[in-house]
Every structure is written in structure tokens, then in C-alpha cells.
Structure 1
Amino acid sequence: MSSIQLPDPTSWGGALLLSDLGIISADGADAANFLHGQFSQDINGQTAQEARLAAYCSAKGRMLASLLNLRPASEQILMLTDSQVLPGLLKRLSMFVMRSKVKLSDAGASMAVVGLLGEPAAAHLGDAAAGAPWGVQPVLNGWLVGLPAVLGARRWYWVGPKADAQALVDALPALDAGAWQWLDVMSGLPRIEAATVDQFVPQMINFELIGGVNFKKGCYPGQEVVARSQYRGTTKRRAFVVHAAAALQPGQEVFSSADPAQPAGLVVNTASANGVHSALVELKLNALGSDLRAGSAEGVALTMGALPYEVPQAEEAA
């Protein structure tokens, strides 16, 4: 692909029920303290006015789930995560509750997540639309979460009761799921899906660059591996945006002409919009600049795209 004309998302706008996101609710006096000891993020210090990204890792530091956490009350944490990953995450977390005063439950029967995009959504939200990225406000019987803008397009999550979620969607133009997912990819904010569970240390997919790892908090599963990757300069892989002539799949291997005999990376998330197929891929830094292919060394050609944040690749590749 010699030249790629990306869509202009500033012309898009509306609302969409995000069925690919599930919600786990943790309720009880020990909810925050329990999750603080499980995740890569400071949960104890989180306020009701902010959403925080977090990783749940194995003992080897590999991400079993990525989460966006809200704390609407001091004794309640809402965890947004991939809907296919949610059952395994809920089961695993429940194994460690023991005598802690916390109840974990799948809130999907009563709550939903709505994706809001662009000027139609901003007009409907009014003053609340001016909130900062990762800020949380009570809006329309739920909580509005500001997301970083992507290619000039403003985005929000709304989290709340299902009936109110449907009313919000009905009040705005319908938003195409592919368009929203494409903006997710272009945002460089990775999500662990079923095909990529237990594949990445957080730094391999830039999770610490976007605020998903707090290196000052106490211990959590995999913390020693994550800290070692950070402070000993052992991160030799990073996530990048690529474009392709055909749709890609999460978990698909990526190959480099520099070493075609073995995989050079893995597809993290994928999406297509307006005929453009894009993906967030994890790559060996020493594969940058080579011919990249998906699926095999003779597979679909990949063209490097642009992330909205800087990746410190030069010094790590040395």
C-alpha cells in the first residue's frame, strides 16, 4: 500500500451501545483495597471524578485483562473490560476475595456502556462535554467519562442503567460500530481481547505510556516483572498502528523481512472504517523499518501509521 487516505472522523457523530464492553462491579468496605492489591493502578487513591486505566497481570507480568475503572462511591468500583474476557477475570478475582468485605458481580444485566462521538453528542451533553480526558461526571442518571480526542474527533463513554443507555442512544444519530472501533485502534489505547490474554507485559503494548501502570503503588501480581521491564530497559517490543489492504485479526502473528522465519509481533486490536483496515500491533523494535506482513512472511503487507503519543523506541532498541 503506497498511499493511504484515512477517513476524517470529525465528520462522524452519534451514539452506540458498546456490547463489546462489559462491567464488573465491586461493592463493599474493602472493594478499593482489595482491587488495589490486584491491579497495576492505584485504586485506593482514585476519586469519583476520575477514571483510571489498569492492568490485571499473571505472576509472570503478562496482562490477563485491561480495565478502565470508575469509583462512583467510596465503597464501589466499576470495572470496564472486554466482554469476552470478563467471565474469566471475574472468576479469577473471586478466587482471591476470601475474607475481604467485597462482593464482585457482573453488572451487565442492569448496566451498559454507550460510546458518544462528535458534535451531535457534544451538543446533547452540553457543558458536560467540556470535561477533561479521563474525567468523570454524573450525567443523565449515569457517569460520563471523557476520552482523549482521536484525529480531532471528541469521544466519551457513558456508563449507567440500561434503560437510560437506550434512551441516550435513541436521542442521537446512530453511530457505526466499525467507526468507533477504528477510532479505538487509532487512539493507541490497547484492549486485551480473548485472543491476546496472557500475551503482553504492559510495556509491550505501551500501557504505562497511557497511564495504566502506577510504579509507586504497592505489590500486585506480576509487579516485579513489570518493574524490571521499566527500570532495567528490557522493553524490546512496543505497540504501533498499521494499515493493511485486508482486515486483520486479534492474535494474528506479524512477520518481518529482517527475520522471516519467526514472528516479529502480534496483532492486538483491529478495525475497519471507510474501506481502511487498521490495527494496533505489538512489534519487536528491531523489526521497525523492515517489510512487515500479517499471517505469514508472504501475507498481507502492513504500512506503518501514526500513534497520537510518542513511543520511546530509540533508546530501548539500543
Structure 2
Amino acid sequence: MHTSWLTANSYGKLSNQVQGAFIAPLPAFDIISVSGPDSRKYLQSQTTCDIDKLTDDTFLRGAHCDAKGKTWSVFHLLQQHDELLIVAFRDELNASVAQWRKFGVFSKVSFNAADNNFATLGIGGSGAAELVGRLGFNLPGGNGRLSRHNDGAILQLADEHFMLILPKSDAIALLDSDYPLAAPTLWLKQHILQGLCYLEQPLIGEFVPQMLNLQAVDAISFTKGCYLGQETVARMKYLGRNKRASWILQAETDEAPAAGCDIEQQFNDNWRRVGQVINAVNINNQLWLIAVLPNDITPVDSLRLKSDSAPALQLLPLPYHLS
């Protein structure tokens, strides 16, 4: 975890007990700048989102797949002056950038770490919109939109759920101010409850994008030109071959399962493995997770985490419709 922009004093302010709106540093999320005359054209051929639809006041959610249509990363992409910035969890971003550099040697495009210049934070909680205004930003005006202030940008991921990109010096100053600060886990809980996820190392290259519900959060374009893995992604949509989806689950337990941990379903007297944890967070012995399961799972199905204590899992509703 890169923590050069987080001071000991800042760490001491972070809490999971914040009531209402909060700002949470997200040091596990990295930023890559993409530049060069072929940057847009190259990314258009490598990602599920339509780069041609990117504007100065919008951002794109997208995915990078391999040739078999398996997802290597889920990211957010925005324009910053004459560069593109890609924000994603460190594991998946490192995996994708290695591939982009490998196959981009014949294009006029370069990928450079931007975490020395920028920092990523999250804003959430009840009253988050008011907090956005206190920071000097206008409200973006809807999911998928962004607003700018000085050299910073705030991305609206969902209602009351934002990602904030700031110059590192501004982020340091912000965390030393009197704004309500929260631990990253509090933002991650909200991320999970919005049905959003990222990929940690064990799950990179394991799922097609529809298994992560990316078609439901406008991260897949089915009208753009060809891109890596498109044949598989299109087949899942038009031939109805996708049988799995991401679901939100909750349990009362002190466990905090790692990415890739198994989830089991009861069939008569037996339990059978039916899915895997993608992201999970435990706050005050309340476990929240998002997991890939059969797409016909229902709240009446008996589910449990495969572990020594095997806590029962409750299925929660998704905040969007699965198509």
C-alpha cells in the first residue's frame, strides 16, 4: 500500500464510527496517466467502454479483458488536460497496464504512474452531496458525470457515493483539516451496497464482465467497434449464455473473508460450492460482501460462507436491474 501521502496524524483520524457524510482516503487505488496521439484509439481497442463518448464533464466505467473475454480490471477513466487518467484498485491496474504496454509497442501511446501527482479518496454517507459543495465542487449532476475544481475532479459513482481525485498536496491538506474522515472500509461498504466491485489478485482473469454486472452499470458498450474479448462478451449478451451474476450479501459474524473464498448453497442435506467472494468488509461484526453466484439465486435459498464458523448469508437487493 502506497502511504506516502498519508501522515500518522491522518491515520489517527480515520474511523468506522463516522455518522453522516465522510471523506475516506483510498490508498489501495492507483492512477495511471495515458498519453500520446494514439491513446484514445488504442484504449478503444482494448476496453469494453466507448472512449468516443468521453467528454470533459463525464467519466467512463469500463473493463479490460483478455482474448477469452475474462476480466483483468474494472476501472474509471477521465480526461485530465491532454491526458487520460485511469483509476483502479492496485492489483488489477498493475495487471492491465502490463498487458497494455506489451501490446501497445506499435502505437503512439504511453502509460505512466500518476500516483506521485494525484491521490484517490472516497466521499459517501448521508449528506455527501453537501460535503461535495463544502469542498468547492459543484454536484456532478448524476451517475457517470464529474465536476472539476482547480486540478481536482469528483466522480459521481452513485447516489451519495463519490470518488475524489486530487493533486497529492491538496489531498494531504484535506486530511489535515477538520473534515469528517473515515476509514476506507466505510467507503467500501457503500461501494458494495451499490453493487460495485473491483478485482483483487486471486480473481483477475476469472470472470466475464457480465458476471460482475458491468452491463448494468454502463461499463460495456455493445455498439462500439471491436475490442479485445468482444466476441465472448457479445455472445454472453445475444445468446444468453451467461448464467452467473454478482450479488450483495450480509451476515452477522466477525469473519472477513478474502477475495476468492467459497460460498455454499444448501441442497437437501448437503452443501455445495456455488460462488466466490469478490470484495468483503467487516465493520463491528457486520459482514458485507459482493459475490459471484448463479444468476437465478433467490432470497429463499440457504447460503453460507465456507469457513470454520460457516455463517449464514442473507441476500440483499441490487440497486439496479440485471439485463
TM-score tier, shorter chain, comes to: 0.7 to 0.9
Code of the residue aligned with 2:35 in structure 1: it is: D
- Structure 1 counterpart of 2:62, from 54, 68, 76: 54
Question: How many percent of aligned residue pairs carry the same amino acid?
Answer: 27
**CA–CA distance in structure 1, aligned partners of residues 267 and 205 of structure 2:** 26
**CA–CA distance in structure 2, aligned partners of residues 245 and 23 of structure 1:** 35
1:163 counterpart = 2:169: yes
Alignment check: 8 A CA contact 1:53 1:67 kept: yes
1:258 counterpart = 2:267: yes
User: 1:146: which partner in 2?
Assistant: 156
Q: Quote how far apart the aligned CAs of 1:285 are.
A: 2.9
2:106 counterpart SS class: coil
Compared with structure 1, are the counterparts of its residues 170 and 293 closer, same or farther at alpha carbon in structure 2 (3 Å cutoff)? same
Q: Quote how far apart the aligned CAs of 1:296 are.
A: 5.9
Alignment check: 8 A CA contact 2:26 2:122 kept: yes
User: 1:87: which partner in 2?
Assistant: 94
1:310 counterpart = 2:318: no
**CA–CA distance in structure 2, aligned partners of residues 205 and 69 of structure 1:** 18
Compared with structure 1, are the counterparts of its residues 236 and 296 closer, same or farther at alpha carbon in structure 2 (3 Å cutoff)? farther
Q: TM-score, normalised by structure 2?
A: 0.86
- Structure 2 counterpart of 1:128, from 131, 138, 143: 138
Map Cα deviations across residues 181-206 of structure 1 (whole Å, 9 max, x no partner).
10011010121221211111111121
2:236 counterpart SS class: helix
User: 1:6: which partner in 2?
Assistant: none
Compared with structure 1, are the counterparts of its residues 168 and 141 closer, same or farther at alpha carbon in structure 2 (3 Å cutoff)? farther
Q: Quote how far apart the aligned CAs of 1:110 are.
A: 1.8
Compared with structure 1, are the counterparts of its residues 248 and 227 closer, same or farther at alpha carbon in structure 2 (3 Å cutoff)? same
User: 1:4: which partner in 2?
Assistant: none
User: 1:66: which partner in 2?
Assistant: 74
User: 1:186: which partner in 2?
Assistant: 193
Instruction: Give the gaps of 5 or more residues in structure 2.
Output: 1-16
Q: Quote how far apart the aligned CAs of 1:126 are.
A: 5.0
**CA–CA distance in structure 1, aligned partners of residues 260 and 20 of structure 2:** 29
Where in structure 1 do 4 or more consecutive aligned residues deviate above 4 Å?
Answer: 259-262
Map Cα deviations across residues 143-178 of structure 1 (whole Å, 9 max, x no partner).
1212212xxxx1322213100112223331211222
1:248 counterpart = 2:294: no
1:164 counterpart SS class: helix
1:300 counterpart = 2:311: yes
Alignment check: 8 A CA contact 2:37 2:108 kept: yes
Q: TM-score, normalised by structure 1?
A: 0.87
Q: Quote how far apart the aligned CAs of 1:45 are.
A: 2.8
Alignment check: 8 A CA contact 1:117 1:156 kept: yes
Code of the residue aligned with 1:31 in structure 2: it is: S
**CA–CA distance in structure 2, aligned partners of residues 223 and 248 of structure 1:** 32
Q: Quote how far apart the aligned CAs of 1:138 are.
A: 1.6
Instruction: Give the gaps of 5 or more residues in structure 1.
Output: 1-8, 313-318
**CA–CA distance in structure 1, aligned partners of residues 282 and 65 of structure 2:** 29
Q: Quote how far apart the aligned CAs of 1:127 are.
A: 5.8
**CA–CA distance in structure 2, aligned partners of residues 128 and 61 of structure 1:** 38
Map Cα deviations across residues 267-290 of structure 1 (whole Å, 9 max, x no partner).
111112343211011101344332
Code of the residue aligned with 2:167 in structure 1: it is: P
**CA–CA distance in structure 2, aligned partners of residues 298 and 225 of structure 1:** 38
Q: Quote how far apart the aligned CAs of 1:216 are.
A: 0.5
**CA–CA distance in structure 1, aligned partners of residues 96 and 238 of structure 2:** 28
1:128 counterpart SS class: coil
